[in-house]
Structures are given as C-alpha cells and as structure tokens.
Chain A
Amino acid sequence: MNDQQLIEGCLRKDKRSEKALFNKYSQRMYTICRRYARHDAEAEDILQDALIKVYDNIKNFRAEGSLEAWIRRIVVNTALKMVSKSSFQKEQLGMENYQEAATEPRAFRNLSAEELMGLIARLPDGYRIVFNLAAIEGYTHKEIGAMLGIQESTSRSQLTKARKMLQSLVLKQEKITL
C-alpha cells in the first residue's frame, strides 16, 4: 500500500490500513522517540501518544509534504511535551570538566547507529533535545527556541555543549578501545 492508500484506509477507520501504517513507520519513529526519551519505557509512551494522535488527526493531513515528515513532526512535538522546561536550567553541571576536544568526524563514522544512540542517551536532557532538533532534525535555533520556549542563545549554547560532550565521550570510548 502506498501512502495515499494508507491515508484513505485510515480515514475509513480500516484496521488493516492502520496496522499497515503502523508497520511502515513505527520502527523509524521509535528511533526518534528513543533519541528524545530518557529510557525505552518513556520512548514507548511517546510513540503510543504520537501514533494515536496520527490516527485521530489524519483527516487534517494536507498532502503538502510527505506523510513520513508529518508523522515525524507529530512524534517530535509529542516527545518535546514530555520534557519540561526545567531541563534547560540544570545543564550547567560539570561542563568545565569537558575540555575542548578536536575529535575528527572519522571517530563517529566508525560507530554504529546503536552506539550513536547510546552516546546521545548519555547527554543530559537539555543537550540531548537541542542536539536532536538541531543536528539531526535540522531545525534552526529560532525554531527550536519557539518550540521549547527558550532563547535562541540558549539553544545555541546547548548545542555547542552537546557537541563538546559527545566528542569527549567518543574520545573516552576510543581510549578505552585502544
């Protein structure tokens, strides 16, 4: 079934179409949820909420973009609702310990997707969310500020700190491997 057929089936409340849509996108969306969530149980909750929203609001889908992008946006928004604003006020801890580390991109290239997920999961909430939004989803700092209710400058600094922390973590991992 292509996306159009899936949408029409979901509009008719056809269970087969709903299941097909689930099979097609749920695993990819679950990856997104895992990137934002603190643990797998929270990721499952986010995905469940998001998919229910998708089924309930599919009538509002305008074919201006792809269905996957629309679902992805719902998943991201749902994930963000799970994170309180306070996440961005507690992230100063221990940053002075992370020194400027000029890690080459090659170090990340050697890591598998699950290892990268593991690195992201080790980031504090605020860093993780901004890094996901800015580095992976491609939102601008202005958009992130509006989405999270924070200043653009806060978003920028959170991203910088997130990158520093990731590089330090990769460096540490490389040393352990060696």
Chain B
Amino acid sequence: MNPKRNQEIDRLFQEKLGSHDSALPNDFWDRMQVERASRSKQISRNRMIWLLLFLFVSTAGYRLFYNKKDPNRQAVVLQNTILQTQEQSNPTRIAALDLPNHSELKNKLSNNNMLLNSAENIGTTSEDKNKHTEEALGALFVQKKQAHDKSIHKTLKDRVILQEKTDHHIKTNITASSSKHLSSRSIAGERASISNEIPASLSEQVNNKNAHNNVQTTPSSHKGKVGDLANRQPRPASLLKETATETDLSQHTLSFLKTSYKPLASSKKTDEKLDVSIHNCPDFIIKRYKTYLEFVFAPEFAVRNLSTNQAALNEYIGIRNQTERSNYAFHTGGRIAIAYKSGIVLKTGMLYSQISEHFQHRNNETITEKRYELIEEIPSQDDPGRMYQVWDTVTYVYKGQRVRNYFNRHHSIDVPLMIGYEKRFHGFSVAVNAGVNLNLWFASKSTFFSPEMEPLNYSTDNISGQVNLDNLAKGKTFKSTVGINLFTSFACNYRISSRSYLIFEPSFRMHLNSFTLPETGIDQSYIIPGVIFGLRYELN
C-alpha cells in the first residue's frame, strides 16, 4: 500500500472528524448531574467503610499482636496488685514484708490462684518505679516457678493448717518455735534456689540482707534495690523502724498468708477448695475482659432517600415523596459485649428491625353509591286490619375525595459487628461504638404509586412491583438482603445492681445499599437516628 496514499486518507479523516460535533440527547446534562451526585455519595460511603475497616483491623491487630499475654509482665503486675491490695488493708504487715531478702518469697506467694480476687485490678496499677528490677525478678520468677511450685505450696498449706489449728492471730505468738522452724527452713531454701538465678547486682543485695538478718532495716533505705518491689507507697513514720528477723518474717508471712487465704480459709468447707487450688496450681488466670449480655430496644425515626439516575423517573420520585412519609422505626434484639481492660469493647448479636411508612392515597373523583331498601307496611283497603308490605329502593350517590391509608413495612434481621471504647467510672460507664450491621434477611410489603399513578402492592415476593418506565425490571422489586448498614452510637451504662446496668444509647444507622433492585432504576435507602434503651447483664 502506498504510504503517501495512507497519509492522505488519514489526513482526510482528521480534517473531517477532528472538529466534527455530534448532537447529544437533550437530557444528557441532567442525567450526568444525577450520576455525579450518586457517585459522590458512593465515594463518601466507601470512605466511611474503609475507615471502619481500618479501625476494626487496627484494634484487632493491637489485641492480637501487641497486647498479647506476656507472662513476665503478668507476674510482676499480679505481684504489684497483691501487694498493693495488702498494703491498703494492713500497712503494718506489708512494711515487714518490704525486706529485700523476702522479695522472692513474695513473688512465689503471689503465684496462687486463690488470690485471683485481688487480681481483679490487674493492669490498672500505674506505678512504674523500679520497672527494670521488677521485670528481671518477674522473668526469673517465671523460670523458677514451676520447679518450685510443689515445695512452695506444701509450705503454704502447712502454714495455713498450722494457723488454723492455733486459731489465733500471730500476735499471740502461739507455736512460735514450730512456725519459726518452718519459715526459716522454707525461706532459706527458697532464697538459696532463687538467688542462684538472680544477676550478681541483684543477688548481692539479697545476700547482704541474709548476712544481716538481725539488723534493723527500713524500707526507705532500699530504694532501687530488690526490696523495693513492694515499696511503692510512703510508709507511716512509725513503721520505718520496724525490725525484721527470720522469726518476725515467719510471723508476718503467716499473717500475710492468712489474710490472703481468708476468703477461702474461713470455714472447713472452703479448706477443700483451698486444697484443690493449691495442688492444681494453674498458671495465672487473669480476667482480662468482662462479658456482658445486652437486651436492647430502640425507637427510631427513618429518613428515607429516594434517588434515581434516570431523568424520566425524577417526577415519579417527587410524587412518591409527596404521598409517602416515615411513620416509625425500631430495632430490638440481643447483643454480646466483650469489654477489655484497655477499654476496647467488641459487640455482636442479633437484631430485628422494622421501618414503617405511611402511604396515603387520595382519589378526588370518587363516586360512591349507597342504596337503601325501604320496607313499608300499608293497611289493605279491601281487607281492613290486614297489612301489606311494600318494598322500595332509594339510592344516594356521593361524589368526593376518597382517602385510603396503607402502612408499608420493611423487616430485616441483622448481625451487628461493633467496636467501641468504654470509659468506666464509679457506678456508670460511657462508650463510643461504631461498626456495621450485616443484613441476613430482608422482607418488605408495601403499597405505593406505580408510575401510572395507580396504587400497587410491592413486596420481595411478588412480581407486580414493576417500577421503572422502560419495563426493564422483570422480577421482584425489593431485595431479599440489603447488605450492610453503618452504625454508630454513644452509650451510657448506669449500674443498677452489682451485675446489671441500664443502657441509654443514642444511635445512628445508615443504609449503604438500596432496598430496591437496581433494575427498578430507583435507589431507596435510609438514615435512621434513634435511642437505644436496654439492660446489660455482666456474665463473668
């Protein structure tokens, strides 16, 4: 083929078509504006979904990878909590235990699931003094814990039994010699085993204390040393000169033990529990979260949004908006909430929701005929005394406006997936929640105007709901599931008993997808503000 001829042909096409204008359909601009509005709405919805997804994934990731169970940290935190609890209940006892050469024993004593009640507040202590020392001891403790569990528990049990037999507090000094013997032996053994594992700098402190058992010590003189583990709060001046010997230690230790065991060792029945607990000696079972069961009911107001990308349907949508209005909406159901110590709350459950709308059909040219039958009795002229019955009919014709009311209802069952942050105060808590409701089932039964201005029944089941003008839709009008709706709320939970709360939760739901099938040419979606009322019950 001749290249020159080709170029000539190309040039001809360029000249003739390059500046050629083609006529556009008249409604093209309007259609494009509708499409633009629809797309910008879709973009904002997508952004919100991504934001929620990001929040959900980041929180889940945080829970799974960052804040996972750290045995060393738990050991230290548990110990801190126990000691703090003991300090609050009996400062004198703790002052004695502050001696550095007893820190190992305190660590081991803390490894007891009987003290779980005290562990309720784990994670809430904020003292970070001597953090590195604590972590070092915690790590060592975990390493040695299993090896020494049996001996420690035996010692603990012996002490408790001994204390139960005497049935007196340590002040009476009963069985001083035997307790001295027990405590000296066990403490010496434990100290020897642990001090082998303690780094030189730390064990030196411990050994120094071992060598000076009878030396008067004060807690304040051991800041930054092993003994500072429990030394976090200022001591009363009267305690600073307290003497601690091996004998004193045993007495104080027994006192400490008895106090710690008090909830379980208060009766003979609980001794059995104590025995089982000691022998099973599980790892720390720390309650890191609470589980709640929530029953909710939320009156709501549904704001409907009808839109279309077909210019021909704009007028029809205007008529629909004039003749229909939101009546009410509500949702009710149950939710399970898992509230972590960190304040993160995860919720799921099952919710039933209903949107009710009112469609009023006014027919201005209604003609109503009312026919009445009249029965009269006329006396017979031929036969006096006899009565004839005469039947007559009267018809009244009424012309006027006929008003018919239809109540349309959209039903759905959703599964909420929510994440929130809860701040707890004394007697109440507040929370911010956000998430999505996944629709499992949707059904609608509605009556509204067809494009031909005839009231027709539309539902998820019948095929009479032909909305669009071009007869594109050949199937159902409403979907059988409506995808997801976004949910956000601000919750206030007021404690009404030890385990129950009242819920007051202003909420906001937004349906992302249309209730109607795309073939209908009309998008019908809802924004639903409301207030959730409910009851929250703590399960564990």
Q: Which residues of A contact B (CB under 8 A)?
A: 19, 22, 26-28, 30-31, 34-35, 44, 47-48, 51-52, 55, 100, 102, 104-105, 108-109, 111-113, 116-117, 134-136, 138, 160, 163-164, 166-167
Contact = CB atoms under 8 A, between A and B. Distances in A.
Contacts of A104: 5
Interface residues of B, number: 27
Interface in B8-43: 8-10, 12-14, 16-25, 28-29, 31-32, 35-36, 39
A35 B17 contact: yes
B23 A55 contact: no
Given A31-B21, A35-B17, 16 more contacts: A19-B29, A26-B28, A27-B21, A30-B22, A30-B23, A47-B24, A48-B28, A52-B32, A100-B1, A102-B2, A116-B17, A135-B13, A136-B18, A160-B1, A163-B1, A164-B1
Contacts of B8: 105
Contact of A116 (B1, B6, B16): B16
Contacts of A47: 24, 28
25 contacts: A22-B32, A27-B22, A28-B21, A30-B23, A30-B24, A31-B22, A44-B25, A44-B28, A47-B28, A48-B28, A48-B31, A48-B35, A52-B39, A105-B8, A105-B12, A108-B13, A116-B13, A116-B16, A117-B17, A135-B9, A135-B13, A136-B10, A136-B17, A138-B14, A163-B9
Contacts, number: 78
A28 B19 contact: yes
Main secondary structure of the interface of A (DSSP, over half): helix
Contacts of A55: 36
Interface centre among B14, B19, B20 (most CB of A within 10 A): B20
B25 A31 contact: no
B7 to A, nearest CB: 9
Given A30-B22, A108-B9, A48 B32 contact: yes
A22 B30 CA distance: 12
B32 to A, nearest CB: 5
A48 B12 CA distance: 28
Interface centre among A55, A112, A135 (most CB of B within 10 A): A135
A26 B25 CA distance: 11
Contacts of B1: 100, 160, 163-164
Contacts of A52: 32, 35-36, 39
Given A19-B29, A22-B29, A44-B25, A105 B9 contact: yes
Cβ-closest 7 pairs across A and B: A27-B21, A105-B8, A135-B10, A113-B20, A31-B22, A30-B22, A113-B16
A52 B309 CA distance: 14
A135 B14 contact: yes
A22 B33 CA distance: 11
Nearest to B40: A56
Nearest to B2: A102
A51 B17 contact: no
A30 B28 CA distance: 11
Contacts of B36: 52, 55
A165 B22 CA distance: 24
Contacts of B9: 105, 108, 135, 163, 166-167
Contacts of B29: 19, 22
A166 B20 CA distance: 19
A108 B22 CA distance: 20
B20 A31 contact: yes
Given A105-B12, A116-B16, A51 B32 contact: yes
B14 A136 contact: yes
Nearest to B31: A48
